[in-house]
A and B are shown apart, each in its own frame.
Chain A
Amino acid sequence: MNPDIIDGFTQATLASTLAATAVGCLLGLVVGMIPGLTISTGIIIVLPLTFVLPPDISIALLLGLYVSGMTGGSFSAILLNIPGTPSASATALDGYPMAARGDAGHALGLAITASFIGGLFSFLCLFLIAPLLADLALKFQSPDLFSLVFFGLTIICSFAARSLIKGLLSALIGLMILTIGQDPMMGTARFTFGQVNLIAGVHFLTALIGLFAIPQLVDNLSAAVRDGQGGTSRARIRRILPTLNDLKSIRLPVAIGAPIGAFLGILPGAGGPIAAFISYDYAKKLSRSPERFGDGAPEGIAAPEAANNAVTGGALIPMMTLGIPGDPVTAILIGALLVHGLAPGPLLFLERGDFAYGIIFSFFWANIFNVIIAFLGLRYLVKVLAMPKSLLMPIIAILCVIGSYALRNNFFDVYVMFGFGLLGLAMRWLDMPVVPLLLALVLGRPLEEHLRVSLVASKGEIDIFFTSPFSLFFLAMAGLSIFWSLNAERRAKKAARNEMESKQ
């Protein structure tokens, strides 16, 4: 057996790492279930902690939060009909009706079980696929890597935006911001305006805190959300553990949701909400009694929950093997690894195989702790839903400031964070997604480096990108992704026009 696997398992099974994973799971369940708080915000809150912790413990904590955040989102979806995270939106369709008829515990138990199975399935995918993909990625040269990163950016833009133009513009704004600081090839200062603090560029995590947390703080000012505070459910939680019959009834939806989630997790940008709705749709189509969906069918809870938790392991595959984040959370994980001087990508498996497998096994433990803590602590955890926003939001605001400062012990980063917060609000006002911008900040540097190294190697000839089969494949995929999203956008506009005309 590969010694890295044993070392990785040992690393992930150390008491300190397990404790961090468990704490992460507990935090994840809490953060996930609070409407108005996303998993990204939860990670932002604990981010300052990770600067002082060793990398294996930091990642274990963040993975726990990621995995359990997905499950936690279903709690408020089932009990309050308010999804704690966007990924839990589909769960509310059947979870809430089931809770409303007095079966809240049953619904929650099914959600936790399906999440667990989906998570374990994606662990297997991660464990089996990631090393193979990393081996393949080692064969990639600079032109291939450029085309791969370019493909990653186009697919993110197409998934993350209702308008492809706005998605691409968002990514390009990210790339423009990324050019602030030293040129990676020659060290020339670019767009620093004589400001010493800008020479190292804008830190990705500072941008992330501003882009995600500040718009969310403003969102929560909204009366609708504020009125939702203290939204304790009146549903009584009786039996939580599913019976053998329950498990039999969710076999098919889980078997549908888990692979769909894992596959869509691998695709950058697709994410939990899409996976959850697609799985729900397939589970309904393949069900013997589709008419029960929407009225509290167990299958309607199991399919999206298996899918959104399976997304987590899927999203870790491109992150770990190619350095391409599948969603904002994996982008933050990359940022957290970079803070510790570890760059995710194929070399991670070659140079720090023990650490790479340590991440994989920490993910496994995160799924185990998730199910244990969720089942044992459910009755107590749901009391968090009563926590007033008037206390929670100021705490988040203060932690954002501290998180930005603690990154480099610099007040300038706090100002930059605030600037990004305003940018995030402006982008929301313009209906422009922030995710492509964020991911461009992660992918921009390798994009520029591989582009320029390739052009130096080819003496300025762009043919180099079309002669390598890998590069050609990724460019073709990028073209396909743009074409597909243009087509989807055109159809959506046509449907909207038809709907308007039919109303008139």
Chain B
Amino acid sequence: MRKRNLISAAILIAIGIGYAVLAVQLPTRNIENATGPSFFPLVVVTGFLILAAALLVQAMRGRANLGAVPVLAKISRRTYIWSLAAAVLYLVALPYLGFIAANIPLFAALMILYGEKRTVWIAAGSIGICLAIFFVFREVFQIQLPAGILGGLV
């Protein structure tokens, strides 16, 4: 945990400095007794930098290690990277493909990721549920979800 605290404190300090630089550059207006747009961000970032520095000091002295080291899902790094890449691909494709065409492969991929192995179940589940969700939102809740490339069909 000490290493994580050191890394996070360093990253947080860098973010804080970047934010402070941007805050200082915000436009100001000379109105008597009024605080400008940069006032609150500067107050916040001052506290942020002080606390990030305190975290760094704590980590260097090995005093910020309370309890067990948190563990994310116990899956391989490769699965993490593939999942992230697939999620990014989905997000990029979503506006073009629309909610049905983009959601079906996402749903199928997630079913596999969560342990489903039966091909028929995966096909039926992904197509059936995605279509059902799309039409329930459109027809029942009146929320128009873009159909994308399937716009002419549905």
Which residue of the partner chain A has the closest CB to B87? A418
User: Are A165 and B48 neighbours in the complex by a CB distance under 8 Å?
Assistant: no
**List of A residues within 8 angstroms of B35 by Cβ:** 185, 452, 455-456, 460
Residues of A within 8 Å of B5, CB to CB, are: 430
B72 near A218: Cβ-Cβ < 8 Å: yes
Give the distance in Å from the alpha carbon of A51 to the alpha carbon of B133 in the complex: 16
- Closest B residue by C-beta to A457: B33
Q: Is the CB of B4 within 8 A of A430?
A: yes
Contact (Cβ within 8 A) B44 A175: yes
Q: Are B70 and A52 in contact (CB under 8 A)?
A: no
Q: Which of B52, B64, B141 is in CB contact (< 8 Å) with A163?
A: B64
Q: Nearest chain B CB to A147's CB is how many angstroms away?
A: 15
CB of A418 to closest CB in B, whole Å:
6
Nearest-neighbor residue (CB-CB) of B104 within chain A: A398
Q: Is residue A286 within 8 Å, beta carbon to beta carbon, of the partner chain?
A: no
Say whether B54 contacts A414, CB under 8 Å.
Answer: no
Cα distance A185–B144 in the bound complex, in angstroms: 35
B151 to chain A, nearest CB (A): 15
**Contact of A281 with B by CB under 8 A:** no
**Contact between A425 and B72, CB atoms less than 8 A apart:** yes
For the complex, what is the distance from the CA of A358 to the CA of B54, rounded to whole Å?
47
Is A201 part of the binding interface, using a Cβ–Cβ cutoff of 8 Å?
A: no
- Contact A224-B74, Cβ < 8 Å, known A431-B1, A496-B67: yes
Which of A229, A432, A451, A492 meets B8, CB within 8 Å?
A432
- The CA of A186 and the CA of B35, in the complex, are separated in Å by 10
Distance, CA A395 to CA B137, complexed state (A): 13
Using an 8 Å CB-CB cutoff, how does the interface string of A202-234 with B read, 1 for contact, 0 for none? 000000000000010011111110100100000
Q: Which of A191, A398, A402 contacts B107 (CB 8 A)?
A: A398
Select one of B19, B72, B103, B130 contacting A428, CB under 8 A: B72
Q: How far is the CA of A31 from the CA of B40 in the complex (A)?
A: 39
9-residue interface stretch from A4-12, A344-352, A383-391:
A383-391
Taking CB atoms, residues of chain B closer than 8 Å to A405 are: 99, 145
Using Cβ atoms and an 8 Å threshold, which residues of chain A touch B114? 220-221, 226, 388-390, 393-394
Give min CB distance, A86 to chain B, whole Å.
15
| Chain A residues whose C-beta falls within 8 Å of the C-beta of B144 in the assembled complex | 409
Q: Whose C-beta in chain A lies nearest to the C-beta of B36?
A: A186
Give the chain A neighbours of B27 by CB distance below 8 A: 188
- Contact pick for A169, options B31, B48, B66, B79, CB 8 Å: B48
**Measured between C-beta atoms, what is the minimum distance from A171 to chain B in Å?**
9
A48 touches B48 (CB 8 A): no
A459 within 8 A of partner (CB): yes
B91 part of interface (Cβ distance < 8 Å): yes
Which of A215, A398, A489, A496 is in CB contact (< 8 Å) with B133? A398
- Minimum distance in angstroms from A142 CB to a CB of chain B: 13
CB contact between B72 and one of A51, A429, A460 (< 8 Å): that residue: A429
B77 within 8 A of A: no
B29 interface contact, C-beta 8 A: yes
* Beta-carbon contact of B106 and A397 below 8 Å: yes
Taken residue by residue from 111 to 154, chain B's Cβ proximity to chain A (1 for < 8 Å, 0 otherwise) reads as 10111100000000110011001000100011111000000000
In the bound complex, how far is the Cα of B145 from the Cα of A96, in angstroms?
Answer: 44
B74 and A222 form a contact (CB under 8 A): yes
B145: chain A residues at CB < 8 Å are: 402, 405-406
* B129 touches which of A48, A172, A394, A489 (Cβ 8 Å): A394
Cβ of A186 and Cβ of B33 under 8 Å apart? no
Question: Is B41 a contact partner of A395 (Cβ separation < 8 A)?
Answer: no
| A406, closest chain B residue (CB) | B143
CB of B33 within 8 A of CB of A460, answer: yes
Q: Are A414 and B91 in contact (CB under 8 A)?
A: yes
* A401–B95 CA distance with the chains assembled, in angstroms: 12
- Least Cβ–Cβ distance between B127 and chain A, in angstroms: 12
Q: In the complex, are the beta carbons of A169 and B55 less than 8 A apart?
A: yes
A172 near B75: Cβ-Cβ < 8 Å? no
B-side contacts of A430, CB under 8 Å: 4-5, 8, 70
Indicate which residue in A173, A223, A448, A493 contacts B74 across the interface (CB closer than 8 Å). A223
Closest chain A residue, CB of each to CB of B64: A163
B144 to chain A minimum Cβ distance, whole angstroms, is 8
Instruction: Return chain B residues, CB-CB under 8 Å to A492.
Output: 66
Contacts of A388 on B, CB cut-off 8 Å? 114-116
Residue A115 is within 8 A (CB to CB) of chain B in the complex: no
Q: A388-B114, A406-B137 are in contact. List 16 more A-B contacts (CB 8 A).
A: A179-B40, A186-B31, A186-B37, A190-B26, A190-B38, A388-B116, A390-B115, A394-B125, A394-B129, A397-B110, A398-B106, A402-B99, A402-B143, A409-B144, A429-B4, A489-B66
CB-defined A-B contacts under 8 Å, sample of 19 = A48-B137, A162-B66, A163-B66, A165-B64, A168-B51, A169-B12, A175-B44, A183-B37, A218-B72, A222-B75, A390-B116, A393-B110, A406-B143, A406-B145, A409-B144, A429-B4, A430-B4, A452-B34, A460-B33
Which 10 pairs of residues, A with B, have the shortest CB-CB distance? A390-B116, A394-B110, A183-B37, A221-B73, A390-B114, A188-B37, A222-B73, A172-B48, A448-B40, A430-B8
